[in-house]
Structure 1
């Protein structure tokens, strides 16, 4: 504070021309500091989640845990495909987690790796939530009429409800597509190398496992205005860990065996007393540990941030999936996969 006061005092005493440059410098520093604070999104952006009464309501304050009664809503569908896997035994069922407003991402996937997945007999659907806006619902119905690849749940389409959407997706697979040997949950900013995926799954032998890129040193933070993934300190005791989460597969993509899905869904809905945590990858891992499901680390699951000019070609060629990509990065990665 003392240094700041001295700086302001010197600014007032500076010659006009120097004062102009000092003012510009100060405003530039303030701009970059503000641009890098994500608490604006958390504190002021209005999103929607369910209230305790089940009605739509604006989020007034962030919460780390979801009302457990809402797990019953994961069986309610707006659009379903109950006959998708009828009379077939695909190697894998891929559920792409998307949002209502991400049609460009879905079209990008339809034009790229989704074609490869369908060509080798895999089943693929986009998992969406619901919207309060009538025009959104109409557009989704029209999109599904054209593409026939959307599964829409009667859940609010908000990132803080991702755990509910994931449980709903697992439950749908258990009821309607458990003929598939594997369930794959993937985000719509990921590029899958289908050839490498098939090769890897064909040689995998553990029947009770979750495969992914295990994050081994992540922990919760307790200051909400720093980032949206923090949790209130008073909720810390509800999870069974100390300073760090136990190793868990990164949420953008992980693969579950059929037996693991059945155990997880039954445990989540019928026997678990663990509160529903809004970080779905952490929550799914905590449930898996309770019932003895193995977590398998696979270095072929990559973040886009792990790529650079020197390793780009080698990592893309050897990868199973690369996620957390911009639309431009997605195109570059897919172009290289096609050339290989």
Structure 2
């Protein structure tokens, strides 16, 4: 504060030309601080929260590739549901990727499309990581006691752990619910039209496939400090595709056949020697390409940003899923699905 006051006092008494450059410099610094506010918030959490817990968090030492040894964490559970699929043969198993502090999102799903999914014999479970905040554990235990639909993993809920979380969810399906014909991974900001999903799966015949909305022109980002999906320059050499990623299904939701999941889990855990890439949808696609699993585009998987006033009703009526939605958008879309 003292340095800032001295600087402002000096600015006031500077010659006009120097004052102009000092003012410009001040605005540039202020802009950079605001632009990188998320980055500073992240850095604060790394130093004062994650580092004090002693729990592993890859964002504490930023890496694009996670050490393979950490894959052993994917079969460790705080809360498990090993008997969920016993004595049943569901059409699909849906794993909703959620976080400890997203209870409102989970309640929204429980009150809407989850009821429809369970009514047609699907199994639905929420996949959570652990929390660095002590009080959250009790709340999750109470929520699980009420709904019995939570699987909680042993590593921290963090966006850089999504690859571990995805492999853990695939492994859970392989171990406890592999008699379901399809595995569906979906984020908790997605609205599923269950009728359209069932109709689509009934006509699907490829037994070794991943289905989703393919992103075909995305490229790796190499400027680490600009955004969370970038990587440090020293790790570029580990990417097989430096100019463009191969087409990959958008992470908010994709569907896998039973055989594809089993092959992927075995390859990820036992065969592949590569470190785990932190963009989970890209990483899963790279594994799929290595073992010959087809990746299929489906235009009925939509982002909320693809909707507009002109096409809203038509696209919602035909969609299997619409994801990356705010709570308000979620409710609006679900109301229209119900009316249709």
Taking structure 1 as the reference length, the TM-score comes to 0.88
Q: Verify the 8 A CA contact 1:40 1:225 in the aligned structure 2.
A: no
CA distance in 2, matches of 1:133, 1:12: 47
CA distance in 2, matches of 1:302, 1:49: 35
Structure 2 residue aligned with 1:213: 213
CA distance in 2, matches of 1:163, 1:155: 12
Q: Verify the 8 A CA contact 2:50 2:60 in the aligned structure 1.
A: no
Shift of 1:232: 1.1
Structure 2 residue matching 1:240: 3-state secondary structure? coil
CA distance in 1, matches of 2:310, 2:33: 33
Structure 1 residue aligned with 2:105: 105
The correspondence of residues 50-89 of structure 1 with structure 2, limited to 5 A, is 55-56=54-55, 59-89=59-89
Residue 122 (1) aligns with residue 132 (2): no
Structure 2 residue aligned with 1:329: 329
Structure 2 residue matching 1:225: 3-state secondary structure? coil
Pick closer, same or farther for the CA change 1:224–1:44 going to 2, 3 Å. farther
Q: Verify the 8 A CA contact 1:42 1:228 in the aligned structure 2.
A: no
CA distance in 1, matches of 2:51, 2:198: 39
Shift of 1:256: 0.4
CA distance in 1, matches of 2:267, 2:81: 24
Shift of 1:65: 1.1
Runs (4 or more) in structure 1 with deviation over 2 Å come to 8-13, 29-51, 57-61
Structure 1 residue matching 2:140: 3-state secondary structure? helix
CA distance in 1, matches of 2:277, 2:257: 23
Structure 2 residue aligned with 1:311: 311
Structure 1 residue aligned with 2:140: 140
CA distance in 2, matches of 1:291, 1:112: 37
The correspondence of residues 226-265 of structure 1 with structure 2, limited to 5 A, is 226-265=226-265
CA distance in 2, matches of 1:269, 1:119: 34
Q: What is the number of equivalent residue pairs in this alignment?
A: 319
Structure 1 residue matching 2:69: 3-state secondary structure? helix
Pick closer, same or farther for the CA change 1:337–1:222 going to 2, 3 Å. same
Pick closer, same or farther for the CA change 1:193–1:33 going to 2, 3 Å. farther
Shift of 1:50: 9.4
Taking structure 2 as the reference length, the TM-score comes to 0.88
Structure 2 residue aligned with 1:271: 271
Structure 1 residue aligned with 2:155: 155
Structure 1 residue matching 2:128: 3-state secondary structure? strand
Shift of 1:114: 0.4
Shift of 1:155: 1.4
Shift of 1:115: 0.4
Shift of 1:62: 1.7
CA distance in 1, matches of 2:254, 2:309: 26
Shift of 1:236: 1.5
Residue 168 (1) aligns with residue 168 (2): yes
Structure 2 residue aligned with 1:288: 288
CA distance in 1, matches of 2:279, 2:318: 29
Shift of 1:141: 0.6
Pick closer, same or farther for the CA change 1:57–1:151 going to 2, 3 Å. closer
Structure 2 residue aligned with 1:5: none
Structure 2 residue aligned with 1:189: 189
Structure 1 residue matching 2:46: 3-state secondary structure? coil
Pick closer, same or farther for the CA change 1:33–1:332 going to 2, 3 Å. farther
CA distance in 1, matches of 2:247, 2:307: 22
Q: Verify the 8 A CA contact 1:90 1:122 in the aligned structure 2.
A: yes
Q: CA RMSD in A?
A: 2.4
CA distance in 2, matches of 1:318, 1:149: 29
Shift of 1:46: 3.3
Which has the larger displacement, 57-66 or 104-113? 57-66
5+ residue gaps in structure 2?
Answer: 1-14
Q: Verify the 8 A CA contact 1:300 1:320 in the aligned structure 2.
A: yes
